[in-house]
Amino acid sequence: MDSNSGRSSPLGASPSERGVNFSVYSRTATGMQLLLFNTAEDSSPSQVFELDPQRNRTFHYWHLEVPGLVPGQVYGWRTQGPEDPEKGFRFDPQKLLLDPYARSIVVPSAYSREAARRPGDTTATAMKCVVADRRGYDWEGDTPLGRPLSETVIYEMHLAGFTRHPNSGVAPEKCGTYSGLIEKIPYLVDLGVTAVELLPVFQFDSQDAPPGLTNYWGYCPVSFFAPHAAYSSSRDLLGPVHEFRSMVKALHRAGIEIILDVVYNHTTEGDENGPTISLRGLDNVSYYLLDADDPRTNADFSGTGNTLNANGSVVRRMILDSLHYWVEEMHVDGFRFDLASILSRDGNGEPLENPPILWDIETDPVLAGTKLIAEAWDAGGLYQVGSFLGDRWVEWNGVFRDDVRRFIRGDQGAVSQLPARLLASPDLYGHEEREPEQSINFVTCHDGFTVNDLVSYEAKHNENNREDNRDGNDHNFSSNNGMEGPSSNAEIEALRNRQVKNLMALTLISLGTPMLSMGDEVRRTQGGNNNAFCQDNEISWFDWSLLDRHGDVHRFVKYLIALRLHPEHLSLPPGMTLNRVLETAHIRWHGIQLDQPDWSDTSHSLALTMRFSTYRLGHLMLNAWFKPLDFELPLRSPAASGDWRRLIDTSLPAPHDVTDEGQEAPINQTGYRVEARSLVLLVAPLSG
């Protein structure tokens, strides 16, 4: 098969009427080979093209056009260059390498991460790329939804784990796939969430896990453009691309946005002893941060062994190209950036005051309508919650998580921190004159305990991870509420159920943008495992039988979401800053006596009265003490036009724990007994 010199742009494999143009970046390679395969399982190439540095290289771009090729062609790269670890060069001409811009990747049955780590030829054992035609899908008019954050409730979920369980009701061949999620969209609609935040769906290495286990979460990418092939129900090489798009289109039709958890801070290639799969073999010194004093060693601010050089020109462009692709060609609505603080580091790993990549993302016109969510910390010690740059980024509020957990657990000194968390953390964000939704409020996420385990375990139980329970966070602010693990004791179970509702209620009624974790609405458990990244089994999967077993919690969460998204709750003018919201809310703080809040370390109770919306006054009473407390109620406000009415009392058994709209019983006494470890929300209509 003949070839011609091809073009340096666009990067990746680009089909045309003539054939396919291939282009890849490497500044330090001295030679490049393109390998074509008849099938993904082939152990040797059908054809090898040796690129001529004079003819097939423009600046640092190696390129070649092969006439007659069509989408579905399997390919990979091999490089020649110095093997000089002292200078950071790690070329290995025996390693088959992935194209960083490949839109589809296939994992052969013989794939071996260990082979990619050892010396020797990996042609038979490596992942391979597939040429994809990105123009042929019929979107039927679909576009990203552009829902305001003020109208958003996020549901963080694992795409496969949502339907992997045998009791999911999904057709067996679709369990754990993009199509499987489509079948469960009615559940999400009924629950009321408006956006799903998917754990990583970029192609990742499932073998990046302790021996005998599987990487389940996917925070070990090998690509920033290809959807994970194992999540496709189709065996077609291009099935993942088409099936992902069909999932997005179906979610949008149901009014649900899709946010991707993206990992632009490291790859699965690990430290200097890790496998050579793609970037390391293409141009290690350009793509990764290396130790300035010892270039043999990767800088590690991710906790995984390597760190991408995000503010280097090549990686910076790759990140932007990736984001453009997922927005323009895959129609996603937003991104949650894993360990986003790494993106603020320079080529030496030092924090930058104005990181180019973050400003590029912030000001990019293609991304202007997308949601940008930062996990504003990294494993190297940067913690930027409340100080992440820009005017558009919103942040996972880890302070909300910890302070709410501590209060509900009944910790000493927790009351004084709670007001800020209930009010979108003005102590963290008020100086920026931003909207309340800048704070993404959550008490659980994929990383850590589920909400059930938060109230059922005093300590982590990660023995199944085969690391002698050393992994995972030791500071969970959890309580077993009477005994460790599952309990048949009715009193313990009732207390746990109440605490779950308390945690869910504070997440969903606080100012800010609420985020729930998959299955918390039915008390999903991981058996006390708070780091289930390697548990692709029933420890991590959504057990659909819990919908019957804990239907009262599901009903409670569903009610709270509907309450939050009710037009009356959303009646504040769009774009109002947090400070302005607080100025107009007329907040009064109380203890068990009106206007006498107890901020002491021994206090476990708090109440507040504020404008719940432009239509209603709200009065919230919180009791984290182990005994009932009698709270004074405010006299009917001059602005109120009716008695207090109870919406929520987590101490009451279902279905009385929440009250349907219009059915609220009047509360006309001067006080209210709030039972031990429970919360109560009352409302009164405002006149005029």
**Catalytic residue list:** 338, 375
Supply 568's token pair: 């009356």
| Residue whose pair of structure tokens reads 């109230």 in the numeric block | 455
Q: Which residues contact 438 (CB under 8 A, 6 or more apart)?
A: 394, 395, 424, 429, 432, 512, 513, 578
CA distance 289 to 2: 39
Query: What's the N-to-C CA distance of the chain in angstroms?
Result: 80
Give the DSSP H or E segment for 583: helix 578-584
Find where tokens 């409020």 sit. 441
Give, as one character, the DSSP assignment of residue 296: T
- Say what angle helices 279-287 and 313-324 make with each other, to 10 degrees: 120
Q: What token pair was written down for 580?
A: 């302005």
- In degrees and rounded to multiples of 5, residue 107 shows phi and psi of -110, 105
Cα 58 to Cα 6, 12, 29, 53, 317: the distances in Å are 10, 15, 13, 8, 17
- Spatial separation of the C-alpha atoms in residues 65 and 643, rounded to whole Å: 76
- For residue 579, with 0-12 CB atoms within 10 Å meaning exposed, 13-18 middle and 19 or more buried, which class applies? middle
Distance CA 99, CA 108 (A): 16
How remote is the C-alpha of 650 from its chain's centroid? 29
| Three-class SS state of 209 | coil
Residue 562 CB coordination number (10 Å): 17
From the list 119, 111, 60, the residue with the least C-alpha distance to 93 is: 119
**Torsion angle, CA of 240/515/440/504, rounded to 10 degrees?**
-170
String of DSSP letters for 228-271: PGGG-S--STTHHHHHHHHHHHHHHHTT-EEEEEE--S--TT-S
Distance of CA 672 to the CA centre of its chain: 40
Tally DSSP H helices, then E strands, for the chain.
15, 27
Please give the single-letter amino acid code of residue 206: S
Element (H, E) at 404: helix 398-409
Q: Are 401 and 409 in contact (CB under 8 A)?
A: no
- Residue of 579, 573, 566 whose CA lies nearest to 618: 566
- Residue in the structure block whose two tokens are 């030829």: 121
In the sheet that 19-25 helps form, which strands lie side by side, from edge to edge? 12-15, 19-25, 61-67, 57-58
